[in-house]
Structure 1
Amino acid sequence: MSGNNARACVILFFVSQLLSGCGALLSGSVETDLTALEPGNYTLDPHHTTVLFKVSHLGVSQFVGRFNRARAELDYRPDDSAASAIHASVNIDSLDVNRPDFAETLKSCDWLCAERYPEARFESKGRANQSGNRLIFTGELLFRGVRQPAELGVTINGATTNRLNGDYILGFEARLHFKRSAFAMDKYIPAVGDNVAVEIYAEFIRR
């Protein structure tokens, strides 16, 4: 190995060690005991949020899309997690299916009717059912101007402090299922499935 190559290898080694050390400094300890998490009001971090939906297509595949803009607030009570509350909404016009022309078709009133009903909202009502770090929030889903009972299943992965900015963050995954026919959107059933699955992967920031 030439002298230049040796020096390059040494530099790369020290750079990798430095970057590894920085990563360790940014990663604080993660608390997974729900009773030990910080209480209070949490707001969705839009930079660390993904909202997906899935629906059967022709009985052989799942059509997957996403919404790029969402808002949510979580009132978390560690002394009684089941008494926590959540309110969430997605901006229908932020639909993303990797094809802008098809997205515009889906936003028409044959489907999502985004211009008339720009948001879909879930609001929890009453106590949640709790099993370990999983909470089942019962509430109402408002979609296309129709309000229906719904359940939001939430898994709280834990919480930590982002050492880069000092934010206390809570890791969160959620699932919601509904029948689109219950919201006056029954076009092409069963070729396009009636059952819609919504998946949310997010971080909340304590205010």
Structure 2
Amino acid sequence: MTRPSAFFMCCVANACAALLLLTTWSTKAAEQLETPRLYRLEPQHSNIAFALELAGRSRLTLHFRRVDALLEQPAGGVSALRLAANIDAQSLDTTALFAARVAKSPRFLNADRYPVIRFISTRFVRTGADSAILSGNLTIRTTTRPITLVVLFEPNAHDMLAHGDALSFSADGHFSRSVFGLTSWPATVGDDVHLVVHARFVPLTRSR
């Protein structure tokens, strides 16, 4: 019987080593995707704003300077993301100082009495490699209504989540202000509110 050559045995040994390395890497990658992770919004690199149309087709943008948000990646990876955000209504700011005071007044957000605007996600659906639809409940003052946001992630979002890296995305959606009881100035302020989000989340936990 012919004995295997040294070259053949070397090839077999290298193939076995490569297979073992690949199996180990695949197991670690799977464990990373199966391990829940928690991310917190990085406020200094994020922006949340409401944009409204005014009479004469001008726009008024209300920026919120203080937002606390958590993003959870349960087992299953990016397709199972959950998001909860608290927006400080008192932190509302705009380039028009008078408009900021009016927007926080009892005739609009009533920020003294209702200081927090909340969003809690209910569903996350991937629509592409770096896009998704995020549905959730938005609470303004005492009214809670569903809202849908179109999400665009930075490229390679799945790899960022798999490795526990910071995650950035933009999102936008629309809602009717009158549905939330914000009915003041109907002749001068449009009913449609454009919610615009630019968010960067950093990991609070990493898999071992």
TM-score tier, shorter chain, comes to: 0.7 to 0.9
TM-score normalised by the chain length of structure 1: 0.72
* CA–CA distance in structure 2, aligned partners of residues 143 and 119 of structure 1: 8
Name the residue aligned to 1:143.
140
Name the residue aligned to 2:172.
175
Whose radius of gyration is greater, 1 or 2?
Answer: 2
Structure 1's consecutive aligned runs of 4 or more residues displaced over 3 angstroms after TM superposition are: 36-39, 77-80, 99-102, 158-161
**Greater fraction helix:** 2
Unaligned runs of 5+ in 1: 1-35, 162-166
> Which amino acid is 1:180 matched to?
R
CA drift of 1:200 comes to 1.1
Percent identity between the aligned chains? 32
* CA–CA distance in structure 2, aligned partners of residues 193 and 122 of structure 1: 22
Counting only pairs closer than 5 Å after superposition, residues 5-20 of structure 1 correspond to structure 2 as none
> Which amino acid is 1:103 matched to?
A
Helix, strand or coil: the match of 1:116?
coil
* CA–CA distance in structure 1, aligned partners of residues 200 and 76 of structure 2: 21
CA drift of 1:64 comes to 1.5
> Which amino acid is 1:102 matched to?
A
Which of the residues 42, 49, 65 maps onto 2:62? 65
- Judging changes above 3 Å, is the alpha-carbon distance between structure 1 residues 92 and 50 closer, same or farther for their aligned structure 2 residues? same
Q: Deviations over 1:39-71 (max 9, x none)?
A: 611100111111122111015122112110111
Name the residue aligned to 2:24.
none
CA drift of 1:124 comes to 0.9
Name the residue aligned to 1:10.
none
> Which amino acid is 2:136 matched to?
G
CA drift of 1:101 comes to 3.7
* CA–CA distance in structure 1, aligned partners of residues 56 and 186 of structure 2: 11
* CA–CA distance in structure 2, aligned partners of residues 147 and 154 of structure 1: 21
* CA–CA distance in structure 2, aligned partners of residues 119 and 176 of structure 1: 19
**Greater fraction strand:** 1
> Which amino acid is 2:89 matched to?
I
Does 2:50 align with 1:53?
A: yes
* CA–CA distance in structure 2, aligned partners of residues 154 and 145 of structure 1: 26
Does 2:133 align with 1:157?
A: no
- Judging changes above 3 Å, is the alpha-carbon distance between structure 1 residues 102 and 63 closer, same or farther for their aligned structure 2 residues? closer
CA drift of 1:76 comes to 2.2
- Judging changes above 3 Å, is the alpha-carbon distance between structure 1 residues 101 and 58 closer, same or farther for their aligned structure 2 residues? closer
Unaligned runs of 5+ in 2: 1-31
* CA–CA distance in structure 2, aligned partners of residues 188 and 101 of structure 1: 15
Name the residue aligned to 1:130.
126
Name the residue aligned to 1:193.
190
* CA–CA distance in structure 2, aligned partners of residues 100 and 63 of structure 1: 11
Helix, strand or coil: the match of 1:128?
strand
Alpha-carbon contact 2:53-2:190 (below 8 Å) kept: yes
TM-score normalised by the chain length of structure 2: 0.72
Alpha-carbon contact 2:107-2:182 (below 8 Å) kept: yes
* CA–CA distance in structure 1, aligned partners of residues 132 and 85 of structure 2: 15
Matched residue count: 166
Helix, strand or coil: the match of 2:39?
strand
Does 2:115 align with 1:118?
A: yes
